[in-house]
Amino acid sequence: MTAKRISPTTRDNAGNRKPVLWVVIGILLGLVLLYASTRKVDADALIVTLSSADPRWALALIVVVIGFTLLKTWRWQLLLRSMVNVKFGSLYSAIYIGLAVNFLIAHVGEFLRVAVIAGKNRASISAVFATVVVERALDFLAFLVVIAVLSMFSSDLPEYVATAGYIAGAIVVIAIVGLYAFLHTPDWLLRLIEALSRPMSVGVRTWCAHQFELFRDGLVALRDVRIMIAVLVVSVLQWLLIVAAIWASALAVGESASIVALVTTFVLILVGLMLPNSPMQIGTTQLAFTIGLGTGGIMATTAIAASLVYTMFLIIPVMLAGGVCLLRNR
């Protein structure tokens, strides 16, 4: 019995379907969440609320976006500094590209910005990608800090906010253990890796070992306590700016959100980022605002209006700027 041969074209087509499927799932999920968050919204009242929105607070969101991307760029530069000297402007452009693509296809933008910087600076993709892994670990740690700080001003946070905090804490512990294992790989783990890689060809084993070392080179910033403290502080400031963006979005439509409402909306937005997303995070953003601001007594129609302000003056400007940067970087 002869085995059926799979042509390279067949494999390529199967691989190309994966991101398409991810996008389709994201769109369907977004539509479901959008329906769930808007089914009780008064369309006429929504139009009136949006038409009377305060443009000063809407424009403040653009300032928040600029501040957020500047901090995110500075953080990445700190993590890369010990490995490769990259100009701030080049990183700033790559950050916009990554964010813009993430708003189209969730999580894909991280790989694209790594490829852009690695290609322009003749650096290893594995090493540069390692700095993004460190970023993600610090994001979860900063997330815990932000929740802890904001919860000091209110003890009435919903239970699922605390649950999100516990999950984030577990992820931080796993990330710390994993990164430590990369930096200080124990002998037993090296023997296990060697045993698992025996069925591979010599060439594949050599390539994997080389990538492992390059990835470990990208974690060099973890050895500098001062850099890590600075990066953690910047990470906290980034997330506080997102909280400020939610607050400004509510103020734009005439509502002053409580600490509980801001924290809840912030947590739900971050949870939504981990899911397959529709373009511009339509659906996940609306549900986060509806539930989150609703905990502060804000009506669904006003919450949806605030979410649309957030989308129009935070997400869309980032996508436009990222598109320009992508065209410039080709």
Can you list the positions of beta strands (E) in 201-314?
A: none
Checking if the pLDDT of 2 tops 50, the result is: no
pTM of the model as a whole: 0.86
| Residue 208 phi, psi (nearest 5) | -65, -40
CB 222 within 8 A of CB 231: no
Mean pLDDT of 123-127: 91
What is the pLDDT at residue 8?
47
What is the pLDDT at residue 17?
62
What is the pLDDT at residue 171?
87
Considering only 64-73, 267-276, 292-301, 321-330, which range has the smallest mean pLDDT? 267-276
DSSP H or E stretch at residue 41? none
Higher pLDDT, 38 or 52: 52
| Residue 69 phi, psi (nearest 5) | -70, -35
CB 100 within 8 A of CB 116: no
Considering only 269-283, 286-300, 309-323, which range has the smallest mean pLDDT? 269-283
Give tens-digit pLDDT for 230-284. Answer: 999 999 999 999 999 999 999 999 999 888 899 889 988 988 877 777 788 888 8
The span from the CA of 3 to the CA of 159, in Å, is: 55
Considering only 36-40, 45-49, 174-178, 242-246, which range has the smallest mean pLDDT? 36-40
What is the pLDDT at residue 30?
78
What is the pLDDT at residue 18?
62
CB 146 within 8 A of CB 240: yes
Burial of 15 (0-12, 13-18, 19+ CB in 10 A): exposed
pLDDT > 70 in the chain, percent: 93
Give tens-digit pLDDT for 64-78. Answer: 999 999 999 999 999
CB atoms within 10 A of CB 201: 9
CB 274 within 8 A of CB 264: no
Amino acid at 83: M
CB 144 within 8 A of CB 173: no
Give tens-digit pLDDT for 132-185. Answer: 999 999 999 998 888 888 777 766 777 777 788 888 888 888 988 888 888 888
Cα–Cα distances (Å) from 33 to 27, 41, 85, 276, in that order, read: 10, 14, 43, 12
